[in-house]
Amino acid sequence: MSDQLNREIDRRRTFAIISHPDAGKTTLTEKLLLFGGAIHVAGAVKSNKIKKTATSDWMEIEKQRGISVATSVMGFNYGDYKINILDTPGHQDFAEDTFRTLTAVDSVIIVVDVAKGVETQTRRLMEVCRMRKTPVIIFVNKLDREGRDPFDILDELEQELKIAVRPLSWPINIGAHFKGVYNIYEKGLDLFTPSKQTVTERVEIDDVNSPEVDRLVGEADAAKLREDLELIEGVYPEFDEEAYLRGEVAPVFFGSALNTFGVKELLDCFVKIAPSPRPVEAEEREVKPQEEEFSGFIFKIHANMDPNHRSCIAFVKVCSGKFERNVNYLHVRHGKQMRFAAPTAFMAQKKSVVDEAFPGDIVGLPDTGNFKIGDTLTGGEKLHFKGLPSFSPEMFKYIENADPMKAKQLDKGIRQLMDEGVAQMFTNQFNGRKIIGTVGQLQFEVIQYRLLHEYGAQCRWEPISLYKACWIESDDPEALAAFKKRKHQFMATDKDGRDVFLADSNYVLQMAQTDFPKIRFHFTSEF
């Protein structure tokens, strides 16, 4: 068993692709799937002529807007490797979903637009990677368009992302005159032919000074390439794989995902250097992937993956051992045994039943309300994996039923969508009204749209002026009672029944913190 387990662990690569909206993340995901033979024709994501929309954006609202709002999970084989990609929403209103996804991956690919450089969203996500010491590879995209000088981009990456970089491929010209990429990692020349469906021709080159290069790209560009490469060797230290695995240096690749260019080079290098599944910290101890006992945690819950069945799916990241179908596992929070007859693996929306899964894999479990984000499943040991917080929301609205005949559907819909962690619901203790708190405006639209289209329920939003919601607790029951009495108009409970204080301004919040020293105020739900 353990030999097989070790072999399976070594061939797994589980990673997330993150970027700012429009940097080309979904397109890159799609091209990686193309090389894995998982899909056979790439659909241009935003073109209406091709009715096949991107494989990973399967929610109706995503198709209309051309943005990803739910994290999709896709697995495929590439050579001897089993690759699991988690495509994350680039839109900042869904940052929380992305933060949680980063707890389930072993490495990350960041996509940067050559014209726009590093944008805010990318900076914030990089902070999470730094915190968790996650290894990062950078893909500079859209080289077939006019953009900035590659050396300027490298400087900006170092400054903005606070990480050392090392180019492993280098562009020959850019924009209209883009000729291709020289692969520093494997010493080869990739010539560019603009086409969305074919893969580039590859010329193996022993020496960049050979006249062959002049013949292929022209003398001027060949001279510039040699000059650039000399400069790179002079400025940047040799690529150090260990430093990459420690999260200290980021290899950089250049290409154009839309034209399937530079993507294979990225993938070939990635499978060689990216880490296989790593140990995961639990509150009790460190859990190693090679352990015989199964363990895993829920990092995401998604309602209605399949419009024909109104069910939720809980995504489990396998941390150790081997997960098997129809075997009893302990649900640690409930303290009860559960078994799963139809666990699934995903290829975007197509899912298939799996009999077994190994560390690094993501398995979907049908959920009828047993799970919440952060739950742990094990072979029997009581483990709690840490690091899956809900953040304190920044935008609030009252949610009201717009169709009295459909009250039940609305309640069910809200409950399931809140379990997904898209937003948070608080029940005001003063008037009993339900308040939805989100990180961004777009989530309100998504909730309204999904309630209507997936549950047949109509809601309307009403304004409420709030500054922050924070969880409160105290070791002194009297102090807690006094606080709740004094602030009774601003007290609410979250879906797990915990006390939440709704402050309507920063001033009120600061005063409360000063006036009630025995109360602890928390801005994430994990405490």
Residue-wise pLDDT for 347-392, tens only, equals 644 667 888 888 988 888 887 778 877 888 888 888 887 766 566 7
Rounded Cα–Cα distance for residues 20 and 279 (Å):
29
Rounded Cα–Cα distance for residues 388 and 255 (Å):
34
Q: Following CA atoms 281, 520, 93, 145 in sequence, which dihedral angle do they give, to the nearest 10 degrees?
A: -60
- Which pLDDT does position 497 carry in this prediction? 87
- Which pLDDT does position 51 carry in this prediction? 40
Residue 49 burial class via C-beta count within 10 angstroms: exposed 0-12, middle 13-18, buried 19 and up: exposed
- Which pLDDT does position 49 carry in this prediction? 35
Fold designation for 395-522: Alpha-Beta Plaits (3.30.70)
Residue 328 burial class via C-beta count within 10 angstroms: exposed 0-12, middle 13-18, buried 19 and up: exposed
| Three-state SS at 406 | helix
Considering the chain, what percentage of its residues have pLDDT values greater than 90?
A: 14
Q: Indicate whether this model's pTM tops 0.85.
A: no
Rounded Cα–Cα distance for residues 354 and 364 (Å):
9
Q: Specify the DSSP class assigned to residue 496.
A: T
Q: Calculate the average pLDDT of the chain.
A: 80
Count how many Cα atoms sit within 13 Å of the Cα of residue 200 in the half-sphere of its side chain. 27
Q: Cβ distance 396 to 505 under 8 Å?
A: no
Mean pLDDT across the stretch 451-469?
88
Closest by alpha carbon to 362, among 311, 407, 319, 411?
319
pLDDT at 68 over 70: no
Reported as a single tens digit per residue, the pLDDT across 228-239 is 888 888 888 888
pLDDT at 448 over 70: yes
Reported as a single tens digit per residue, the pLDDT across 207-231 is 677 777 777 777 787 888 888 888 8
Mean pLDDT across the stretch 277-300?
87
Local confidence band at 399 (pLDDT 50, 70, 90 cut-offs): very high
Mean pLDDT across the stretch 27-56?
56
Domains 280-378 and 395-522 share a fold: no
Angle at 20 between CA 14 and CA 22, to 5 degrees: 105
Reported as a single tens digit per residue, the pLDDT across 463-521 is 998 888 888 999 999 999 999 999 988 999 988 888 999 998 889 999 999 999 999 98
Q: At what angle do helices 150-161 and 219-235 cross, to 10 degrees?
A: 30
Local confidence band at 89 (pLDDT 50, 70, 90 cut-offs): low
Q: Which of 46-50, 254-258, 284-288 has the lowest mean pLDDT?
A: 46-50
Rounded Cα–Cα distance for residues 289 and 319 (Å):
6
Local confidence band at 50 (pLDDT 50, 70, 90 cut-offs): very low
Q: Which of 47-61, 164-178, 294-308, 359-373 has the lowest mean pLDDT?
A: 47-61
Reported as a single tens digit per residue, the pLDDT across 409-431 is 999 888 888 877 778 899 998 88
Tokens matching residue 94: 């869904």
Q: Looking at domain 12-99+106-273, does it have CATH number 3.40.190.10?
A: no
Q: Cβ distance 136 to 250 under 8 Å?
A: yes
Top-ranked range on mean pLDDT: pick from 24-38, 66-80, 117-131, 400-414: 400-414
CB neighbourhood size of 235 (10 A): 11
From residue 432, give the alpha-carbon distance in Å to each of 259, 393, 427, 492: 54, 19, 6, 9
- Domain residue spans in the chain? 12-99+106-273, 280-378, 395-522
- Which pLDDT does position 524 carry in this prediction? 72
Tokens matching residue 350: 């197509």
| Three-state SS at 483 | helix
Q: What is the 3-state secondary structure (H, E, C) of 264-327?
A: HHHHHHHHHHCCCCCCEEECCCEECCCCCCCEEEEEEEEECCCCCCCCEEEEEEEEECCEECCC
Q: Residues 23-48, buried b or exposed e (16+ Cβ, 10 A)?
A: bbbbbbbbbbbbbbebbeebbebeee
Beta-carbon contacts of residue 396 (< 8 Å; ≥ 6 apart): 435, 436, 437, 438, 464, 466, 469, 502
pLDDT at 143 over 70: yes
| Three-state SS at 460 | strand
Tokens matching residue 489: 């108009």
Q: Following CA atoms 149, 240, 269, 279 in sequence, which dihedral angle do they give, to the nearest 10 degrees?
A: -120
Q: Cβ distance 84 to 15 under 8 Å?
A: yes
Q: Which residue has the tokens 């409970």?
A: 493
Fold designation for 280-378: Rossmann fold (3.40.50)
Tally: H helices and E strands in the chain: 14, 31
pLDDT at 310 over 70: no
